[in-house]
Structure 1
């Protein structure tokens, strides 16, 4: 995997940054606090989102901005990928507004899907990423400081061994689940066997044969009684048919009497209705005469003389046309009046608006004039400030008159003195240690000499003791004490000089700040002076515009008066048209009344015709009813002749005998049927038990087979659990051996002394360092620099193991080292450079190092410089060639800063 390009917008200290990254060693260089680490955090955030942050999501957005965008382009496994994340802050809360990952196969959207796919792609989540490839600032000692169990989990997850433990736990859970199910099935098998035994003791088939024999006997008796009952029912039904026919004839006779009486009454009622219809016809004829008299009275007031209905209708149509024309004229006049009134109102509003705008322009001109006066006063004040700043700068520069360096060289001077002071302090510690050891050796030699032993070898001596080695020890102690005094004096002198140099650095920073202030003030003065003439011209333009607006407003008021007069003329025309319409409306009302009389006469005549037709219909109905009445009287007489009382009495006796037999036989049948039903129920119960017995036997066979299968499955899951546990232990041991070998190779390369013989890594990832004399040390007992190198070696060894030792693993991400020199002195930094070169030689495609150390800058194939603007507090990145001339320039710039 290789990072190709990263783009940041409003991300932390970056306003807009776009950086391309190449293969090889890239060093990101800049002063502390310039934003170097934030550049790599942007790449990490692009891959894993909020889980890659130590802070909250809203802290990645630049202060004062509403959203931040991070884009990362990278290659992986031969494909090109692009991921974009945008964070938006609303109501003091940050949310992910956009998250998209574009791959050669598909596009993924949403923070959760993108993070999951990145983890699958790289075969590591965000924690594994920082444990393997990303050594973050201040976390170089993370692995060594972790508890053994934590370190074991970290490395196992990186080596994909955690999945084997997951599989082993799943197999264990499956084994316990199978055992639980198997035990339940065994209990159920025993229960089924017990049920089968109980049912077999009941002799179910013998009981079934006896019950079926008894059932056949009862069904024979039921069949005999049912035949006799059926014959009795037939006799009863025949007798009831005769009786029902007799009752039907009686009912029909009564019905005919009722129908005859009803028809007689209906005929009489219809005759009365015919008389009422004749009276209504006479009333309508009288009404027609009265309507014609009313029409004559209405026409007496009209200029028309005895007109017909068509003339009246034509006259009404003419008047309505004239009324419609008047309505159109009124509408036209009203629209015109409204338009003239609207025009007048609009002109008045426009005049008011122009008057207000004229007043605003006069006020704006006065404000500009006031601002012009204030600007001139401020210019005078700023010119005085320029003079004060120039004087202050000159005063600060006077401090360098007697200084050993000039302005601009204080930083280099302080660095040189600080390096000398560090060397003096280290030399002092070395001398104190050597002096302590020499004094101890002298004391041991004197004790041996007093005991009569050789101070060199410790063996007994016969002659006078050898004192040459003791004298050498004493001389060595004297030399060390003299040199220690000299070194202490030099250290004290350098401490004073460093403090003085620090004061010069402070003065130099003050001069730089004053010069920046001076430049800013001069720029403001120039800008304000350039704008004075323009402001005077704007004031004149505003005053002229105000006069023009006043003139236009007066013209608009005059036009408004003319429009109002035209509107009043149109209103008068509307009033004249309304008077004419009132007269037309009165004539229309009279003519409508006349036309209504024609309609009323026609309605009355139509009603008379309808009533005559109704009288004729009722006469015809009564003729039909009289015919039906004669027919029904004939039917009544015929039915009276058909009555036979003796046949009816015989039918009653037969029905009573049949009913009596049925009443006796029904209880007996019910009793026999109940006995038969009880037997059937009992037979059904026995059959059900026989079926249940067969089902139990089948279930027993199924359960027995299931238990056998579960026994076999339990054994298989137990073997699977043991296999995963053994495989994990075997793979861990193989990885431990490889990791231990690579760790020793890497540590030997970067440490490069003879103090330690080897590093041991056991199966639980416990680390032990062995000295040359065989003494075992915990890594925590190493010095700060040694411990940092040890951890870097461990990180690089893990990276190598993942890159070389896992079959089919995905290409690893770039090796990222963020400020790895924090705990290293200058000697150890050169070892770190060798480590970086070694990882490059081993085939690591891309290594990114964040550092302000010049020695690491010299080892870069590509150089990225990060600078922060002190005014805007925004960082920028520039990509440069790693040539010697450029590196020298960068070093000079870093020293000057």
Structure 2
């Protein structure tokens, strides 16, 4: 990685519109400036654009304050090819982590050709592959961060050894050790599983010889039984033929017996039918002999039915007319009832309501006259009440006048008293001329004032007495006037209400009086109609017409009853006449059927005779075949037994053959298991060896032991330049504390520093000397890690505080840096110390 050009926008302290930082022609340069001016931010921008990492915890903290996005573009050289990487990040509008874009391109002249991956992770991996280093490798080799140089030296010996292991990336071998252990464990699990299966299968193989012996014995039994079965089967076949004929005879015997029973049944049925037909034939001949009687009875029945039909038609007509007459009569009766009810209502209203009400009219008129006279009397009382009220008004005026006089007298008495009190003072003066009064004049005025006061008091007391008397009179008269006013108003209201109510009732009764004459006329009219039946005129006409029609029809109930009796008596001839019509044809049919029936009986009797003879022959053959049946049963039992024995032997042989086949397959499986166990044991041994090799006492210990002299040599070479050959470093590996789990002592790394005084521990040296030791070891570790990772080390960033060094120490650090410049393509030193800045020709 050789940075060529760097462009920033809104990154940390840098804003927009900044010129591109061109590092193309820089070899060794000093990046200087005051603290907080963004020196380290430039290095953060390089690590962020390449690996997405910097000092800040989140990318949002890298964005310039107040801005929403930032971007960094870096052109760099790797493997003699120029590349351009661009990374942009925008803040999220909500609470998310924002959006990042990353692009990687190859530069051909000034033309970029994108080679970015499908995702940001893919593109970052491409960058790592191009540079042969990730972020951690870079900050451990090419970037000496501020405050990080003494992390190695100031750690305790155990941690120092672990730091060295981390620098050498020995965790990779620890991962290999863990993986080898896991593989060994898996192999052991497979070995245990196969050995368990092998033990199970081995127990199964012990049965092979016994199974083979049983199979041979079973085959011998099968060869012995098979001929016996064949002989029995042949005997059974012959006996079965005999039994089959016997069975056929038995079936035929059953068939003949069934046919005989059916034939006998048919003969019996035919004979019963013959008897029934003979009786029916006698009845038919008797019926034919009565033909004249039956024909005459049928004619009388037809004539009677005709007359009965006519009279029943007349009856239906009469019933319809009577039904209509009844409906009309009902309507007339309803109308008569309605008129009667209406007449009763009118009479009741006239007698109970209207006439008594009309009789009240004179009384009501007299009540009105009496109430009007009472109102006139109240008006006279009201005149008297006004006189009393006028008198009360005069008394109130008189009382008010006295009240005013008393108020004036009280004011006068108060004023007189004030004057009298003034005269009693020793230096009293005349109230008129305001001159001092002599004793005589003073007495004279006092007497006059006393007389005036007594006169006013007497007048006040007289007025007060009058006011009290007037108040009593006023109270009494007011109560009387108020009572009379209330009584007059109440009686007046009652009289007026009575007059209004009476006049209203009188008006209503007048209307009733006018209705009385009309109702009387209505009652006379209704009574007249009721007497003369002058209502429902049309209904009465219709009723008279219907009654005349009923008489015209002339229905006779006695004649109807006689015809009904005749119909019952002649009814038997209807069925007899029907039978007579079919009697001759039926007689012919019976004669034909009887002849046919007799032929059937004869045929069936002949068949019964033949079947009886056949049955006798069959019974003889069945008796002869009884011995063959018994022999067949014995042979069948023997054959069944032999077949069962043969089948059992064959089944046992097949099962044993399957068992033998399974044993043979198990033998093959046992061979495979033994081969697999040997293979997995070899694998486990290999993985155990790898576990030991990758373990702490294997490659890791070897690499640490090998790297310690290299670090010591490189650090001493640089430290001798920094101290004018006065100081040297000795790195020693020694046993530390015992591990409680393994019992193996841990390794620790000691740093011993020697100078002209002697060999001492690192902690006893001054700050400037410690910094040189730190610097030398840090450069040595960086060079070692670069060589271990296989990554070239073309650039070195040193971001350290050189303030702890005196001028001579700073010169030697400068010389040390310049002494290693041939090993790096570019060296950038970051400092704010003036003397250090002046030691470098190129400044940024």
* Category of TM-score, reference length = shorter chain: 0.3 to 0.5
